[in-house]
Amino acid sequence: MKEIAPGARRRTAWVKALFLACFFVAAIALVHFTRVSDYLQAKTLSRLLHEAGPWAPVLFILIYAMGVCILIPGTVLTGLGAAIFGPYLGFAYVWIGAMAGAAGAFLLGRTLGRDFATSLIGEKLKKYDEAIERNGFATVLYLRLIYFPFSAMNYGMGLTRVRFRDYFLGTAIGIIVGTFVFTFFIGTLRDVWASGQWGQLLTPRVFISLGLFVFSFFIPKIIRKMSKGA
């Protein structure tokens, strides 16, 4: 098998990186200059999902996954899922959609950007790249638990040597707590709003959801302190 010349590899890497950059520009333009943003509202999206009937969960998961890939903030999509489906089904559909989107973005970054990133890595950065490969699961899990920006990390990890399996498992476990807390809080408020019984705002369930939501903001600090003490 004929070996590809270094010059040809570099050109291929640049072409792939250019495609990735064009994808980001197109994604930003799609969100900001088309009607896509209209569907990032609970009423509009709820109506669309209602029309999908029994396929609504599948459609929402696909929308969530594509939204992650085109850099729509995960908190927006998660809030919509909780507001439409409630705290428990909302959590399940959001988690699956987030995982699908995270995997898709990672593979895009790995396919189109990894070669370019490799060409820029010097000896110093190469050591960090190798360390991420060795400790991929722990690295991804830690960054997910401290709420490292979701979309940036999806693509960023694709540029490193981390194994897909380590990335996927670290993400799957790392986003569970934050996703559940957020969907439980929004979904609980949604249930109270839908029932019209405002006295339910004083029920234990609402206080628990509020407490978990507030506590979630301290999780990154707790994780950092634990990692420093280890």
CA geometry: angle at 15 spanning 9 and 16, to 5°?
A: 90
Domain match, 39 and 73 both: yes
From residue 181, alpha-carbon distances to 66, 87, 128, 172 in Å are 23, 9, 33, 15
**Domain identity same for 157 and 184:** no
Residue 26 shares a structural domain with residue 128: yes
Find out whether 186 and 82 touch, Cβ atoms under 8 Å. Answer: yes
Cα pseudo-dihedral 56, 60, 63, 68, rounded to 10: -170
Of all residues in the chain, the percent with pLDDT exceeding 70 is 88
> How far is residue 109's CA from residue 54's CA, in Å, rounded to a whole number?
33
* Number of independent structural domains in the chain: 2
CB burial of residue 57 (10 Å; 0-12, 13-18, 19+)? middle
Domain limits at 162? 6-176
Instruction: Compute CA 228 distance to the chain's CA centroid, rounded to the nearest angstrom.
Output: 26
Q: Which residue has the higher pLDDT, 227 or 98?
A: 98
pLDDT value for 201: 63
Residue 96: pLDDT over 50: yes
The structure's pTM equals: 0.85
Is 122 found in the same domain as 13? yes
**Which range has the worst mean pLDDT, 72-81, 101-110, 137-146, 181-190?**
181-190
73 shares its domain with 107: yes
At 41, the pLDDT band (50, 70, 90 cuts) reads confident
Q: Over range 4-20, report the average pLDDT.
A: 83
Same domain, yes or no: 56 and 122: yes
